Structure 1
C-alpha cells in the first residue's frame, strides 16, 4: 500500500529537493493541480522561478498515482516547450536534478514521491522513477521516454519538435514512427509553453486538439489526461481570464516572498540611444580602435560599448541582438579588437546563437555556464567576459550579467532580456543600453512588426533626460510596472500594441486530421503543419543539415548493385542529432541552386520568415544526400525534392557556410565542419572511426594517425588483425616521448574502444570504417539514440544470438500486458495482448527464415524451430540485398502483412468485431506501414508454409497463399479496417494503442539482446569463444 501524499507535503518535497522553501505561488499552484486541473495560463514576471512548474507537475503526478487513468488530471508525460532556439536549457538541467534526487532517495517525502512514480511504471525497481530528456533535433529516436509508455517523463523541447510529432508529421522523423510520436505526445501529456507570446498559433492548435480528443469524436475514446498551459506575462488574446493563475485577487499573496520582491524591485537604469558609428578613442582610452569590419552603426556602437565596459574590470557583459548575422558581425569585430596590439580590454569574447549544432553549443555552454550562472555570490572572474547572443538567451538560461547592451525589440522581448541583468536582484551595480538604428524607428520588423518602433516610442515618452541630453528609463520589473495603466483593459490593449504580433493559426478541422493520420503512405494533398504551429505568415519549415567530408564534393554514379556510394558511406555512420544544423528549408534550397544569400535575415525564433527572393541559379546545382534510411535515401540536386524535416547530408566541405549556422572549434581552436565521430559517440554510445585522408587529415602529422592512414590506403598488403589493434592502442595511449600531442579526446576514445575488437567495413568513398562491438559510456545522463530512419527490422531482427519466434512472441505479450495494464482502460488490454501474441507469425515464411541466416538455405533448414531474431541478419545494404536474392524473397516483403493473413485463417481472434478489427490493425501496423495502405509487393510464387508456433500449427500450400488477396489490394480490407479503427478510438487514441504494442516489441527485443550480450561477455570471461 502506497503512503498518502497530498498538497500538505509539497513544502517538504520542495525543501528536500532544493534545500530551501518554495515561493508562495509555487505552493498555491501545487495545491491547485494536485486536486484539480492545471490553469490555462500562468502569468508571472520574469525571474520568478517558473521552471518550478516541472517540480509541481511531478509532485502532482505522484499524488494522483493511485487514481484510475480516467480520473487522473496529472499527466504522465510533462513537456516543457519554448518557441525559440535556446542555447542553455535550464528546464532540462532542473528536471535532471529532480530525477537524480528521486533516484537516490532513501527516505522522506522524496522517497514517497519516487515510489509512487515507480508504481505507475513497468520499469524495474532499480530503474530511475523519472525519465528526463530533450528533443532538440529531429534525427534521433530517443531511448528514454519514447521506449516505455508507462514511465513518468519530463521532456524539454521546442514548438516544432513537439508540434510536428503531435500532428503526425514529426520533423526529421521517419513516417514509420509517426504514430508512436503522436500517440505519446497526444495522450497522458501536459504541454507547458514557456514565454509563449509568439507561440499563440500552437497554443490555439492545442486548444483545438483538446476538443478533438473528447469522447464525441470517437466511438470508444481512449481516455487519459491531456492539458496545454501557457506561461506568459502577456496572456494570449482569448485566454479565459478565470483560468489565469494567479488571479487578480491572488497575485499579491503569490509574489510576497522577499527573494521575489528583491528581483521585482531591482532598479535597472538604462540608456536609450540611437546607434551611431563611434569615433576612434584617444590613445590610452578604451573603445573601438581598429577599422570597422561592418558598416552597420549598431554593430560598431555595440562593440565599442562592450569594449569600454570590459576596460573597467572583470565583468559579465551581454550583447543581445535580433539577428544572427548582427551577432556574428559584433563577435567578429570584438575578436579583431581584443586580438589587436594596444587593446586595453583583455576579454573573453563568446558567440552563442541557436544556429549552432548541439555538439558545438554544449561544448561552449559547459565552458561558461558556471561563470555566468545566476547565484547570490557569483564565481569571481579573472577577466571580462563578453557574450554576444540573440533571442536564444531570452528564455532557458539562468544567467546573470552586470552589463546589458541590447538592440531594441518588442516590450515583451526586452522584459525577458532584462531578466538576465542582475537576475536575482542582489543589488550589484549594473549598466544597460537599448540601441536602435535610425531605419528601425518606423519600419515593420519581420518578427516584431510595428511593436519594435512602438516600444521605442513608448519608452522614450517615459524616459528622463539628463543634462547631456541622454534619455534614461528603469527597465526593472517594478519600474516598468509603474508605467503601465492600472485599468486592466487599457493595460491589455497597450501590452498587445507593444508586444510582438501574435498570428492566429488556421482553424483546425477534422478533415486535416483525417489526412495527417494517414502516415504510410502520406496522402496528397498533405496540409502544411507549419501554419498550425507558427501561423500563416510565418511557419518557415526547417531541415537538418549534416556535413560529411569523406563524401567527395563531386557526385558519383551508382555502384554496380544500384546503390549510390554516398548512401553506402553514410549508412556505415548514420547521422545523429548533435552534428545537425537546423536550417530553414528555403535557405537550403537556395544553397543547392548555387546561391549563398539569406543568412543575414536569420533569427533565433522558430518559424521566423526568411526574406528576399529566391535567386536564379548562378552555377551548377549542388548535390546532397537526403537521408531517409538505407533503403529510402537518395542523392539529388533538385531542391524541390527536399521536404520539411529532411536530413540533408552535404558532401565535401572544409568550412561551414554561414547560411547553415555557426561552427564550433575543436580542442585546438580550429573550426570544424565534419564532427560525425564525436557526435556519434555522444549520441549513440558507440565508437565509429572513418579511416580516411579527408576526415583524419588535420592530425596526420601524428605518426600513429599516419600509420592508420597507411594501413587503410594499402589494403592489398598482408596485415594481421593484431597489426591494426597495435596501431589503435598506440593511438589511444600517451606518446612514447612523454610529450602531449594535439589529438582530440573523441579520437583517442575511439582508438581505445576499437582496439578491443571492431568490425571493419570498406568505405565506398575511400578507406575503411571501423565500428565498435561494445558500447561506451554516453556523456551525461542521456540514454543513447537509435536511428529513427532505420526500419524496425533493421533495429530488432538482428540480435547477438538466435531468438526463437515462440520465445519472442511470449516476451512481447508479457511486456504488452504490463504496459497495457498501466496505460489503458481494462477493456482494451486483451486485444493488445492478443495482437502481441500474433504480431510476428508471418516470419515463418521459409524465405524470411533464410534471410535471417544471411541467405544460407542449409542453415535455415537445419534450424529446429522458426526464428524471430538472428545474429546472421545482414547489416550492410549490399549484403542484405544479396540475402533477399538468394532466398527469393520479393523486394519490399512485409512479414506483418503475412501475419495478418495467417492470424485471420489459423488463430483464434476475438468474436467482438471491434476487438477483432483492433487486433488485426495492430498487427498490420506494428512496423508503421498499412496506415492506411500496405506497400505494394508482387509475390508471384509464395512457398508452402509448414510450421509450429507455440501450440499452434500452420500448414498452407503455396497455391493457397497465392489466392489470398494481397495486403496492398483494396479487397484485403486493410484500408477499410484502418478507417474503422480511427473512427472508433480517435486519431490519437488509435495511435497510442499502436504505440503500446510497438514499444512492447522494441522493449522485449532490447531486453533479449542485452541478455544475449551479457551471456556472451560471461562466456568470454570464462575463456570460451565469442
Structure 2
C-alpha cells in the first residue's frame, strides 16, 4: 500500500530575469507557443543520485558510463565491451546554461526550470538513444518538442535539413496512443504549425488516411501508434494493410525517421525487435539515416543490445541542476510502503481487498487499486459496490477492454474535480504508464519490479500532499 506524505518546501522566491542569449531564444519562443498559458510543474528535471553525478558539458544532464571520465564527455554504453567516452559537441546550450545560473527565478519559472534545461540540451545536441528519467518527468515532451524545434525552427539551415522528416512515436497501449496524440495535436496547434506538420494515428479500429503521408513523404509529420501496428510495417507485414502496400510502408518508414519508443517496460518482445531493426539500418545503410530513442524510468542499456545493435550511444539521465521547483517537490515526495494481508483463497480475495480499500480511503482524496488481471479488477469493483453506501466515494473501473467512447468518458471522470467523499479507482496496468493521475493511497498486487515502480509513480504524484501519513501497499495475488 502506498500512501502520500509531504513533499519538499519550495520556500519563497521573488524576482525573475529570463532572457536567453540569441542562440536559443527561438527555442524559448517556440515552447511559449506550444504551451501557452504558463509553465507547469512535472517536466524533465531532477538530481541524479550522488554516486552518479558526472556531467557532460555545462552539467545539466548526467550521462552515465561504468568508468570515470572527464568533464565535457558523454558515454557510449557497449554491450559486452569496454565503455568508450566521446566528446559531447559544444554549442550554445552551455553558454545559455551558464547565463541562466546568474539570474533570479520567480516561482512559476522555477516550476518548469528542469523541463527547460532538459529540452534545451536535447534541442542543441539532438535526441540520445536512451533517456532514463523518473516517471512523471515529462518524457513525452522531451521526445517531441526538441525534434520539432530542430526540424522547423532551428536557426541553422543545415540542422533543419539533416533532422529526420518524420517522428514515429511507438507505444505499447491504446490508451497511451490516444493521450499522446491529443497532446501532440494541441502542441502543434498552439505553435501555429497545423498546416506544416501532419499527425497520423496508427491503432486498430481507427481510420487512417494512408495516402496523406505516402503521396507526400517529404512533409514533416508525427506518427503515433501501437507497437503492433508500427513494428509490423517495419517488418513488411503491416497489420490492416494490403500486401501491395507492405514494401511502400517498409521503405518509407526505414528512411529518414526519428523513432521514439516510450514505456519500454511494457513492450515485451517489441523492445529487442526495435533495437535489432535499428542495428540493421545502421549495418546495411539506408538511403537517409534513421535514429531511435528508448525512454523509460527503469530501462538498462544492455536491454537494447542485440547482435546488430551492440552499443547505446548516449545514456541521458537527469543532472544535479535539473532538480528544481515543482518537479523537485514531486520527486522528493514521501511515500510509505507497507504490505497488506488479505485472504488468499480466490473466493474471498475480492471482498477482503475491497474492505481494505474502504478502510484506508481518505475522504476528499483519490485511492487507486491496480490489479494484474481484468477478472480480479472486475471482481473487486463488484465487491466495492456492495460496501460503499450512497454518498460514499465515487467508484471508477478502468481496464483495456472498454470501447474507445466509454474509455474516453472514464478518463474525463478521472480528470474531473474530486467530490467531498473522494474517489476509488480500480484498474489494471493501463494506469501504469503515461496517465498523469495522483492518489493519496495506492494498492497494488505483487508484480515485476518495473511495473511496481510505474505504479508507485501514481502515489503522491501531485506532491506535496495535505495529509501527513503516507503509504503504498502491496499484496500477493490470490490462490486458486
CA deviations 1:776-819 (Å, max 9, x no partner) are xxxxxxxxxxxxxxxxxxxxxxxxxxxxxxxxxxxxxxxxxxxx
CA deviations 1:128-187 (Å, max 9, x no partner) are 222234322166333665664233223332221211121111223332332343234322
CA 171–332 in structure 1, closer or farther in 2 if over 3 Å, else same: farther
Match of 1:295 among 347, 350, 353: 347
Provide the secondary structure at the position in 2 that maps to 1:140: coil
The 1-side partners of 2:121 and 2:465 are apart by: 34
The 1-side partners of 2:34 and 2:126 are apart by: 24
Identify the residue that residue 409 of structure 2 maps to in structure 1. 363
Question: Would you say the 8 A contact 2:170–2:226 is kept in 1?
Answer: yes
Question: Would you say the 8 A contact 2:112–2:325 is kept in 1?
Answer: no
RMSD: 3.2
Deviation (angstroms), 1:296: 4.8
Match of 1:204 among 255, 268, 272: 272
Deviation (angstroms), 1:393: 0.9
Identify the residue that residue 95 of structure 1 maps to in structure 2. 184
1:324 aligns with 2:346: no
Identify the residue that residue 128 of structure 1 maps to in structure 2. 195
Match of 1:245 among 300, 303, 316: 316
Deviation (angstroms), 1:381: 1.8
Provide the secondary structure at the position in 1 that maps to 2:340: strand
CA deviations 1:564-589 (Å, max 9, x no partner) are xxxxxxxxxxxxxxxxxxxxxxxxxx
Provide the secondary structure at the position in 2 that maps to 1:141: coil
Question: Would you say the 8 A contact 2:200–2:208 is kept in 1?
Answer: no
Match of 1:432 among 472, 477, 480: 472
Residues 223-234 of structure 1 mapped to structure 2, 5 A cutoff: 223=288, 225-234=289-298
Provide the secondary structure at the position in 1 that maps to 2:320: helix
Identify the residue that residue 347 of structure 1 maps to in structure 2. 393
Gaps of 5+ in 2: 1-20, 40-108, 305-310
1:61 aligns with 2:138: no
Question: Would you say the 8 A contact 1:91–1:156 is kept in 2?
Answer: yes
Identify the residue that residue 420 of structure 1 maps to in structure 2. 458
Identify the residue that residue 43 of structure 1 maps to in structure 2. 132
Question: Would you say the 8 A contact 1:84–1:391 is kept in 2?
Answer: no
Deviation (angstroms), 1:348: 2.5
Deviation (angstroms), 1:324: 1.4
TM-score with structure 2 length normalisation?
A: 0.69
Deviation (angstroms), 1:365: 2.1
1:399 aligns with 2:467: no
Question: Would you say the 8 A contact 2:372–2:428 is kept in 1?
Answer: yes
Provide the secondary structure at the position in 2 that maps to 1:304: helix
CA 421–271 in structure 1, closer or farther in 2 if over 3 Å, else same: same
CA deviations 1:507-529 (Å, max 9, x no partner) are xxxxxxxxxxxxxxxxxxxxxxx
CA deviations 1:23-58 (Å, max 9, x no partner) are 455444444444444211011111111121222221
The 2-side partners of 1:68 and 1:217 are apart by: 25
The 2-side partners of 1:428 and 1:88 are apart by: 33
Match of 1:179 among 241, 247, 251: 247
The 2-side partners of 1:206 and 1:65 are apart by: 32
Question: Would you say the 8 A contact 1:302–1:405 is kept in 2?
Answer: no
Match of 1:384 among 419, 422, 428: 422
Question: Would you say the 8 A contact 1:399–1:420 is kept in 2?
Answer: yes
CA deviations 1:46-73 (Å, max 9, x no partner) are 111112122222112124597469961x
CA 48–303 in structure 1, closer or farther in 2 if over 3 Å, else same: same
The 2-side partners of 1:180 and 1:325 are apart by: 41
Identify the residue that residue 222 of structure 1 maps to in structure 2. 287
CA 11–362 in structure 1, closer or farther in 2 if over 3 Å, else same: same
Deviation (angstroms), 1:313: 2.4
Residues 620-659 of structure 1 mapped to structure 2, 5 A cutoff: none
CA 426–96 in structure 1, closer or farther in 2 if over 3 Å, else same: farther
Provide the secondary structure at the position in 2 that maps to 1:276: coil
The 2-side partners of 1:67 and 1:133 are apart by: 26
The 2-side partners of 1:16 and 1:70 are apart by: 19
Residues 494-573 of structure 1 mapped to structure 2, 5 A cutoff: none
Identify the residue that residue 9 of structure 1 maps to in structure 2. 26
Question: Would you say the 8 A contact 2:114–2:324 is kept in 1?
Answer: no
The 2-side partners of 1:150 and 1:369 are apart by: 39
Provide the secondary structure at the position in 1 that maps to 2:267: helix
Deviation (angstroms), 1:383: 3.8
Identify the residue that residue 944 of structure 1 maps to in structure 2. none
CA 237–327 in structure 1, closer or farther in 2 if over 3 Å, else same: same
The 2-side partners of 1:259 and 1:358 are apart by: 33
Deviation (angstroms), 1:390: 0.8
- Highest Rg: 1 or 2? 1
Identify the residue that residue 308 of structure 1 maps to in structure 2. 359
The 2-side partners of 1:146 and 1:360 are apart by: 32
Provide the secondary structure at the position in 2 that maps to 1:404: strand
CA 31–432 in structure 1, closer or farther in 2 if over 3 Å, else same: closer
How many residues are treated as equivalent by the alignment? 377
Where is the strand percentage greater, Structure 1 or Structure 2? 2
CA deviations 1:422-468 (Å, max 9, x no partner) are 2121223255321224759xxxxxxxxxxxxxxxxxxxxxxxxxxxx
Identify the residue that residue 411 of structure 1 maps to in structure 2. 449
Deviation (angstroms), 1:344: 6.4
The 2-side partners of 1:334 and 1:88 are apart by: 30
The 2-side partners of 1:151 and 1:401 are apart by: 42
Match of 1:151 among 219, 224, 236: 219
The 2-side partners of 1:87 and 1:102 are apart by: 22
Residues 788-827 of structure 1 mapped to structure 2, 5 A cutoff: none
1:86 aligns with 2:86: no
Gaps of 5+ in 1: 104-113, 115-126, 278-291, 372-378, 441-1026
Provide the secondary structure at the position in 2 that maps to 1:274: coil
The 2-side partners of 1:275 and 1:333 are apart by: 14
Identify the residue that residue 236 of structure 1 maps to in structure 2. 300
1:267 aligns with 2:328: no
